[in-house]
């Protein structure tokens, strides 16, 4: 009798279709020689890594130059609407335009009668125009606040800003801090958003940065480079210095513009260049945005900056001084050369020839860095000074005084 097949009967899934120990399963990985398994494993990992590298090369802008260009372009589109052109007008000091009799006689010999300014033009209408950059910092109380440099707008008769869309507005100088070269302008609310701010304490040498501004009046010019150095002090540019050094091209007119990272965050405000010709030579400086923000907020809130001071004259620790003091090799610190009478330093017991090696629980390495940290300390607060005196460590408590603002 032929077998009857029940086509509706379900298969018995409780039994394995092919057991691992079935002798007929000749292609089982478990039955391969160990050497072959190792070869297959290495091959699989190689193919996997190759695929990952291909994907990374396709999507990582740092591995694909074309994608890097797109990243720069994307940041530029994001940032440019909030970067402004700043134009300041200053009365010309006519006394500086006068020639000495000898110079006037020399020029007349070759040029004839020298031209004179129109008699009906009063001296106060003779204006000098300075151009620079700025960027939107914040909006509050119905106003937009713009950051720029002090040297661009201090004592200006009139300041105007122009946005990317061509909108031009007269700006009020809300506050100026000449000691750090930071200024805040105030204009009515505009559509341009405040730029996101980065954290310069996390900035590293070698990071890509972009400078956007108006060099030589060429609006919204982009230059690209890297962070060349951080923590530059003692350059003699400002009273308080903590510069980011960059090789992104910075030229006259870039001052006040933002230095941004690849995330479109402002990490600094461009302020100065090192140049023997007046143009770009590969070394530019920007004020770290953490420092800028602290100063700018005080300018907005109270119109001036409050700084701490201890009343001591300091100098760097040179090799000659270290040898004279018989200090250990590699000893850090700054030397006290003068103490002002009745100053916080005098009251704390600080003495001439003391070596300051620590402040507020952190080591001290140079004068500029120490001045910045003291200036950032709230007047009236008590801070700890660690000094080396005649080879012995001592800890002093100093009550921070208030530094008189510089007009």
Of 82, 133, 180, 181, which one is the catalytic site residue? 181
State both tokens at 310: 């201890």
Active site residue 151: yes
80: Cβ contacts below 8 Å, ≥ 6 apart? 164, 212, 220
Active site residue 181: yes
Query: Does residue 86 come out as left (phi exceeding 0), alpha (psi in the -120 to 50 range) or beta?
Result: beta
What backbone phi and psi angles, to 5 degrees, belong to 169? -135, 145
Of 82, 180, 255, 377, which one is the catalytic site residue? 255
Cα–Cα distance measured from residue 182 to residue 162, given in angstroms and rounded to the nearest whole number: 19
Of 151, 177, 228, 242, which one is the catalytic site residue? 151
How many CB atoms neighbour CB 195 within 10 A?
23
Q: Is 368 buried (19+), middle (13-18) or exposed (0-12) by CB count in 10 A?
A: buried
How many CB atoms neighbour CB 36 within 10 A?
10
Place of tokens 């700084």: 307
Closest to 259 in 3D by CA, of 243, 240, 280: 243
Is 247 in contact with 282 (CB distance < 8 Å)?
yes
Active site residue 255: yes
Residues serving a catalytic function are: 151, 181, 255
């Amino acid at each position: 009798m032929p077998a009857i097949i029940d086509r509706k009967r379900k298969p018995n899934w409780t039994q394995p279709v092919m057991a691992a120990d079935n002798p007929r399963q000749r292609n089982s990985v478990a039955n391969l020689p160990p050497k072959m398994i190792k070869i297959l494993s290495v091959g699989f990992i190689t193919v996997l890594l190759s695929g990952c590298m291909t994907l990374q090369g396709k999507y990582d802008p740092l591995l694909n130059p074309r994608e890097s260009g797109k990243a720069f372009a994307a940041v530029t589109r994001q940032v440019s609407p909030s970067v402004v052109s700043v134009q300041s007008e200053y009365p010309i000091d006519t006394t500086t335009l006068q020639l000495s009799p000898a110079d006037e006689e020399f020029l007349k010999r070759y040029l004839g009668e020298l031209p004179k300014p129109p008699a009906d033009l009063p001296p106060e209408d003779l204006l000098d125009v300075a151009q620079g950059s700025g960027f939107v910092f914040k909006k509050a109380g119905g106003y937009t606040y713009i950051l720029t440099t002090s040297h661009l707008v201090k004592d200006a008769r009139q300041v105007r800003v122009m946005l990317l869309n061509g909108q031009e507005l007269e700006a009020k100088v809300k506050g100026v801090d000449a000691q750090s070269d930071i200024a805040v302008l105030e204009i009515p609310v505009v559509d341009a958003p405040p730029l996101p701010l980065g954290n310069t304490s996390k900035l590293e040498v070698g990071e890509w940065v972009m400078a956007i501004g108006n060099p030589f009046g060429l609006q919204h010019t982009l230059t690209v480079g890297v962070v060349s150095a951080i923590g530059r002090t003692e350059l003699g540019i400002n009273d308080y210095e903590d510069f980011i050094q960059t090789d992104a091209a910075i030229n006259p007119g870039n001052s006040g513009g933002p230095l941004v990272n690849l995330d479109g965050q402002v990490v600094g405000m461009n302020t100065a260049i090192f140049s023997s010709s007046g143009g770009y030579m590969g070394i530019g400086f920007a004020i770290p945005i953490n420092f800028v923000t602290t100063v700018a907020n005080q300018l907005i809130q109270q119109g001036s900056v409050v700084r701490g001071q201890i009343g001591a004259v300091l100098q760097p620790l040179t090799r000659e001084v270290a040898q004279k003091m018989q200090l250990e090799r590699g000893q850090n610190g700054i030397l006290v050369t003068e103490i002002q009478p009745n100053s916080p330093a005098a009251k704390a017991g600080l003495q001439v020839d003391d070596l300051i090696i620590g402040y507020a629980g952190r080591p001290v390495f140079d004068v500029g860095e120490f001045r910045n940290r003291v200036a950032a300390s709230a007047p009236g607060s008590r801070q700890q000074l660690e000094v080396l005196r005649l080879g012995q460590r001592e800890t002093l408590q100093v009550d921070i005084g208030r530094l008189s603002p510089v007009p």
